[in-house]
Amino acid sequence: MTEIVKVNRRGQITLPASLRRAAQIGEGDYIQLCVESDTITMSVKRLVEKSQAYFWTREWQEGEREADEDIRTGRLKTFDSVDELIAELKS
């Protein structure tokens, strides 16, 4: 999708609603701008709560991928009770 917008005297532009919808940009979202030669690339950035930042570390994401693979291939156990789980952990 391509749109042409006009820069106002203060250097501001308005993102057309069609682009905002297509990129799922909402009020308060952050946009990263990168300039290469005469091209400006815009990327939507979502901020992560500091208390949730661990989830996006490389180590945590590798663990998530490993867990997803274990689930996908059936390498998991289920328990009918907490007592069964504890007994398994102690064995």
pLDDT tens per residue across span 42-69: 999 988 889 999 998 999 999 999 999 9
Q: Is the pLDDT of residue 16 over 90?
A: yes
Sign of CA dihedral 5, 8, 14, 15: positive
Q: For the residues 83-91, what does the mean pLDDT come to? A: 94
The single residue listed with the structure tokens 């030669």 is 37
Domain limits, the chain: 1-47, 50-90
pTM for the full model?
0.51
Average pLDDT of span 24-51: 92
Q: Is residue 22 classed as helix, strand or coil in its secondary structure?
A: helix
Write down the pLDDT at residue 1: 82
Q: Which fold has domain 1-47?
A: Pemi-like Protein 1; Chain: D (2.10.260)
Closest to 22 (Cα-Cα) out of 47, 49, 48, 42: 42
Kindly tell me if the per-residue pLDDT of 5 is higher than 90: yes
